[in-house]
Structure 1
């Protein structure tokens, strides 16, 4: 990862002007923050990166020099970001490092052709405000948008979800809206909804446990829809354009 600039700033009114160093120096314990200083990694909304530069979006933290717990926290900060977007294929070109939900990524890059996911699950959206095509990514490397089953190189918003630590997965699907009609409960993956449910459409569902992904076609192909525990009274509640669902699976089974 590129050696992003790390800066510590003293509290207002302090004579200490802060410390400047690299991410690697901080992670290795070679950059000490002054007592009561704030620390951040440069970038984020602070400015715009040029070609090949790195923008980092992380929150501010407090630290105390000589405090082992604080140093451990700073090391954790250096493990950010959790996802990196690249404008070109094979992790080339301008890139943006992100560690939190973002409703509008358009200020940071104009296109997205490769991605590295370092932790957590991420749901990417084709349009701002979590609209358009959805793409669900787990930890790993995606050298071009076809590797996340993308329809194009547009990624304009994203949300992160921690790994599901529970052991149970349970979901009920319904033939009609508002939990009406034929119902079937699932606790495992389904390669073909029609083969098991005898319907090609799901109009509503209830997710009791775990994270799930609906796919437009059998064998986990086509449009993707992310579902977390909750009630979905009609297909528009999970972002669907229609009620056709061909397969689904638990998010742990990537």
Structure 2
């Protein structure tokens, strides 16, 4: 077996991303289970295959969060990498469409507070739903039935999912405006958005899964509170449950 070899950390390519001022470090391995050649990164890399790696087999995130992409130059399906270990490609991919991961960058977190507005129609028209700080494992339960057509992120960074309970393809929403569904997906495989959660960091800017309240009801295992507001529905609070305890796991995992 080839001995692990580390290459110098990559320099930033003209753009800086910061998780509330924190540092970023991720280790990328060519083989599964953290074996083979190893590259350490503290800044974005538009082409991992130019860093002496033929492919990406496993990942360890020391500090982040990071956003990885299926193709070079930050294109294709997106994969959110929070603090923890990812021993195989199916540990970072929810959709399992592809085992390819060819570029990555630090994921910008602009604020410890999170607020997002979802709209039923393109161009911010139709019914509106405001979410503050909490996970929504099922937009269907709040009347949207995956018909989200435009989004405004007021603050914080969010990740949406193609399916309920944080499953399927991921879509990252940083602070800004998204007037149509094709403004938030690189892969263009689907226009469905069925669940959503904020990406949170601790005081040192280290992104990792936040475990708060949980429910085992029809909404799935996610925290829901009255801070979710809309013009057509009211959410209810959920009881607490034990810590699931696996690094790199999302709050909506069962």
- Band the TM-score falls in, shorter-chain normalisation: 0.5 to 0.7
Q: 2:17 is matched with which residue?
A: none
The correspondence of residues 164-203 of structure 1 with structure 2, limited to 5 A, is 165-166=111-112, 168-187=113-132, 188-203=134-149
Following superposition, the deviation at residue 196 of structure 1 comes to 0.9
- 1:189–1:95 Cα change, 3 Å: same
Segments of 4+ moved more than 4 angstroms: 162-165
Task: Answer whether contact 1:201 1:244 (CA < 8 A) is retained.
Answer: yes
Higher-helix-fraction structure: 1
Q: How does 1:151-166 map to 2 (within 5 A)?
A: 151=96, 152-161=98-107, 165-166=111-112
Report the Cα distance in structure 1 between the residues aligned to 2:114 and 2:64, rounded to whole angstroms. Answer: 18
Q: Once superposed, what is the RMSD of the aligned Cα atoms?
A: 2.1
Distance 1:106 1:59 in 2: 16
Q: Report 1 or 2 for greater relative contact order, CA contacts < 8 Å, sequence distance ≥ 6.
A: 2
**CA displacement 1:169-222 (0-9 Å, x = unmatched):** 111101111101111111121010111133222111000011100100000000
Give the structure 1 partner of residue 171 of structure 2.
225
Within the candidate set 75, 99, 114, 1:131 is matched to 75
Cα deviation, residue 165, structure 1: 4.9
SS in 1 for 2:123: coil
TM-score normalised by structure 2 residue count: 0.67
CA contact (8 A) 2:157 2:172 kept: yes
Max Rg structure: 1
CA contact (8 A) 2:47 2:102 kept: yes
Q: How many residues are paired up? A: 185
1:211/1:228 contact within 8 Å kept: yes
- 2:126 is paired with a residue whose SS is strand
Task: Report if aligned partners of 1:213, 1:251 keep a CA contact under 8 Å in 2.
Answer: yes
Structure 1 runs not aligned, ≥5 long: 1-49, 61-79
TM-score, normalising length: structure 1: 0.67
Deviations 1:3-36 (CA, angstroms, capped at 9, x unpaired): xxxxxxxxxxxxxxxxxxxxxxxxxxxxxxxxxx
- Distance, in Å, in 2 between the alignment partners of 1:173 and 1:149 is 25
Where do residues 70-109 of structure 1 align in structure 2 (5 Å cutoff)?
A: 82-108=25-51, 109=53
